[in-house]
Amino acid sequence: MNYKVFFIALTAVAMSSSSCTKWLDVQPKTNISERVLFEDEQGFKDALIGVYVKMASAELYAKEFTMATMDVFAQQYDVSGNTNQYYEFGRYNYSNAAVQSRVNQFWNSSYNAIANLNNLLTNLEGKENLFSEGNYELIKGEALALRAYLHFDLFRAFGPIPAVGMQNESIPYVDVFEMKVKPNLTGQEFINKCMQDLNDAISLLSAHKSVNYGLADPFKSHTRNHLNYWAANGLKARISLYVGDKSTALQSARVVIDNAALFPFIQRNNLAGTAPNRTFLSEQLFGIYIPTLKDINDGLFRSSSGSSVLTNKESFFTEVYESSSTDFRKIFLFNTDGTTSQLYPVKYYTDDIQTDLLNTKRVPLLRLSEVCYIAAEASVDPIEKIKYLNLVRTNRGLGSLSNDLIESQIELEIFKEYRKEFYQEGQLFFYYKRNNTQRISGYGQDMTDQQYVLPRPNDEIEFNN
C-alpha cells in the first residue's frame, strides 16, 4: 500500500450574500508538521478536510472512479474507435500501460487517503478535551465512515465477485497507521471489518442528524459535503446488499427512506433555467465538491472543438430510456450539437458565468434514489418492492409500475433504473459485478473475473505475497 501521508492546513471559507462558497472549495495553504496539525480541534478538522480534498482528485471521484473509467467499464460510452483514449479500457485490457496506470492510481490514492485517516484517528485518541461539545464524536465518526467507504470501493474494484468469492482471498483492510504490510483478508473478513467501522461511525454520528446549510461554522455548514449519519446508513445498505445480506440492507435503507423529507426529490423546474440542478443536489446523501469540474467535463464530454471523448449514439439512449418523452433524466441530462447522431451528457456541465455554486461542481456519491433501489431489491414483499421503485419513477416524470409484476419483471425494472439513474456516476459496473452478469450490452464477450476483478499493482503483489 502507498503510505505517504499529507498534512494540509486549509484556508477559511467566506460566505457572502451573492454566492455560496463551500468549505471544500479551498486551496492548500502550506504543508505543516504532524505535531502542529494535531494540537487543536481546527487541526483535526483540517486533516479530515484534506481527505475530502484527496477524494476530489481526478484519479478518484472527480473523474476516473465515477464518470470516466468506471463508466467505460460499464460500457456506458461508445469508445469502439481505436483512436479513443479509452479504447483499451472498454476492452478491459488491464495489461495496457495506460489502463494499468489508471487502475494503480485507484489503489494508491485510496490507500493514501486511508493512511491519512488512520493517522488522524491515532492522534485523536485521548484528546477529547481539545474539542467543543460534540465535535470529537463528529470528526471520529466521519473518519471511520470514510475509512469504510474507501475500503469498500477498493473491495468492489479489486475484490472478488461477491456471489462466488466471499471466502476467497481479497485485499488488505488497513485500520492502523504503521509501516507494516497488511495481510490479504478473505472477502467475508474484509466486509466484517468494514461493517465494524461503519457501525461505530453510525453510533458516533447519531447525535448529528440535522441536514445543515449556511451555518456560521463552515465545518458544519454543508452536511451533504460530509459522510454524515444518513450517508453512513445509506452506505451500510449498499454494502449489505452487495454481499447478499438483504435483511440488513432493507433495515438500513429504511432508516433513510423514513426520513426522505430531509433529501427531497428534485422537481422539474429545478432542472431548467439559468442554474439547473442537474446533479440532483437535494437528493444527495453525500457528494464531493470539485473545483475543477468544468474543466473535467469540457475535456471529457464537450471539448472546445465541439467533439466529445465520452459519448454515445442517440439510439443507445433511446433504448436505455425506453423512448420516453417525459423522463427528466432523458430530457435534461443529454444534448446534441445537431450535426451527428451522438448525444453528449450535460450532468456536470457548467458555464463560466454560472454563480449558483451550490448546484454545480458536485459529483454525487450516495443518493436517495439508490437507497430506494436497494430497498426494492432487498424487500421480500413484491408490493413493497414496486412501491420503492415507484417512489423514484414518479419523481422522474414516469408513470407508476403495476402492482401485478412478477419477481423477474421487478428485477428487470431495477436493472433498467440503474442504467437510467447512474449515468456518469460509476455505479453500474458494480451492479453488474454484484450480480455476476454474464453479458454486458456493448461488450461482445462473456464477463468473468478476468474483467470484473481489477488487478492489484505489481509491487503490491510482490511485497504482499
Instruction: Tell me how far apart the alpha carbons of residues 403 and 325 are, in angstroms, rounded to a whole number.
Output: 23
Residue 72 in contact with residue 64, Cβ under 8 Å?
no
The set of cell numbers assigned to 91 is 476492452
Q: Running DSSP on this structure, what letter comes out for residue 15?
A: -
Average pLDDT (424-451) is 97
Vertex 15 angle, CA 12 and 20, to 5°: 115
Helix (H) or strand (E) holding 344: strand 342-345
Instruction: Tell me how far apart the alpha carbons of residues 90 and 442 are, in angstroms, rounded to a whole number.
Output: 9
Average pLDDT (173-196) is 93
Phi, psi (degrees; rounded to nearest 5) at 356: -80, 80
Instruction: Tell me how far apart the alpha carbons of residues 431 and 408 are, in angstroms, rounded to a whole number.
Output: 16
Q: How many CB atoms lie within 10 A of CB 113?
A: 25
Instruction: Tell me how far apart the alpha carbons of residues 136 and 189 are, in angstroms, rounded to a whole number.
Output: 29
Each domain of the chain, given as residue ranges in start order, spans 8-463
Instruction: Tell me how far apart the alpha carbons of residues 193 and 198 are, in angstroms, rounded to a whole number.
Output: 9
The runs of H, that is alpha helices, within 286-427 are 293-301, 314-320, 328-332, 368-378, 382-393, 407-421
Q: If phi over 0 gives left and psi between -120 and 50 gives alpha, with beta otherwise, what is residue 423?
A: beta
pLDDT tens-place string over residues 100-114: 999 999 999 999 999
Residue 234 in contact with residue 252, Cβ under 8 Å?
yes
- The average confidence (pLDDT) of the chain is 89
CATH for 8-463, options being 1.10.260.40, 1.25.40.390, 1.10.150.120, 3.90.1150.10:
1.25.40.390
pLDDT tens-place string over residues 292-314: 998 999 899 975 555 678 999 99
Express as a percent the part of the chain with pLDDT over 90.
76
pLDDT tens-place string over residues 348-361: 987 655 555 555 78
Q: Is 6 exposed, middle or buried (0-12, 13-18, 19+ CB in 10 A)?
A: middle
Say if residue 437's pLDDT is above 70.
yes
pLDDT tens-place string over residues 244-278: 999 999 999 999 999 999 999 999 998 987 778 89
Instruction: Tell me how far apart the alpha carbons of residues 177 and 71 are, in angstroms, rounded to a whole number.
Output: 33
Secondary structure (3-state) at 335: strand
**pLDDT in the model for residue 394:** 97
**pLDDT in the model for residue 180:** 82
pLDDT band at 213; cut points 50, 70, 90:
confident
Bridge partners, residue 186, by sequence: 169
Q: Running DSSP on this structure, what letter comes out for residue 427?
A: -
Residue 164 in contact with residue 436, Cβ under 8 Å?
yes
